[in-house]
Amino acid sequence: MSGNGNAAATAEENSPKMRVIRVGTRKSQLARIQTDSVVATLKASYPGLQFEIIAMSTTGDKILDTALSKIGEKSLFTKELEHALEKNEVDLVVHSLKDLPTVLPPGFTIGAICKRENPHDAVVFHPKFVGKTLETLPEKSVVGTSSLRRAAQLQRKFPHLEFRSIRGNLNTRLRKLDEQQEFSAIILATAGLQRMGWHNRILHPEECMYAVGQGALGVEVRAKDQDILDLVGVLHDPETLLRCIAERAFLRHLEGGCSVPVAVHTAMKDGQLYLTGGVWSLDGSDSIQETMQATIHVPAQHEDGPEDDPQLVGITARNIPRGPQLAAQNLGISLANLLLSKGAKNILDVARQLNDAH
């Protein structure tokens, strides 16, 4: 018996240790749920690997008394995670794609974009207003949102309402809504509410165009870490990838960000990618919206084998054919140029100045 035990121990010592992939994430419950879903997919694809989740707080998690658009920092929810990537403390980081700027710091890339959930916004009402709509809320009711994009669009449609900044993670914002009397309703991303399992709080999404990348998860890696790039490549969802390349190219070419109201809507149908983009003044009174389309066939993964590696709007997708990616990027740039030719730059410049002044 003891002889067998020694032999087993020796075999265990000699067997190769399981490689551990370290995954960085924010500490919030939603971030953990999102990261767990990505890790579960990776585990299914790579049963021989171990995954360790490392959670950390970001600047955006710590500064909760200021509207996001006022902080003037493009990487509010990503900087600390990128530092950990840079110092090789983690191998990959899971983000909400809408938190990732269209220009990433040197040395980083988005190595995967996962299948998108519902990208629309949802209205969540204070318990005493359940059954209402934004249209039927009393005059001067206060609606909370952390987004200039949502406020500008909704202010235009519902001038009888007041829109005020509300900060914090999803749990915090819902608690502020339910326990305080300040807000009659708040606007949140449907995808986050769904991932948290709070389907019962979602009331019909208002007809808002959404933020670039909303509803999709992005996996950020070191741009030169070929091993990890290959590993996360299985997570790419081709349709989501192409829609988000078009959206990010549109935003980048407009030089938009979270300090100006820019929104999009994309759809794939019968080999056509439709992109609608819009810009608004802060109060929603001035706006330009246009739609363009391009013929793009959603490719299967690995169809043409690995491609060359230059990033498109911060994204590396070597296992997706290059042609459709370039077509999606060109669609975003063309739509941005159309809006710029119709006066979008002036609207955005004024919005930026007003936002900075307040």
Active site residue 178: no
* Cβ contact 178:146 at 8 Å: no
Q: H or E segment at 173?
A: helix 170-179
- Beta-bridged to residue 142, according to DSSP, are 162
Order across the sheet with 20-26: list the strands: 50-56, 20-26, 92-96, 217-222, 108-113
- Beta-bridged to residue 203, according to DSSP, are 123
Nearest-angstrom CA–CA distance, 258 and 151: 12
CB-CB neighbours of 140 under 10 Å? 9
Q: Which is the catalytic residue, given 61, 99, 225, 237?
A: 99
CB-CB neighbours of 137 under 10 Å? 20
* Cβ contact 24:81 at 8 Å: yes
* Helices 148-157 and 344-357, packing angle to 10 deg: 110
Nearest-angstrom CA–CA distance, 62 and 169: 11
φ, ψ dihedrals at 149, nearest 5°: -60, -50
Active site residues: 99
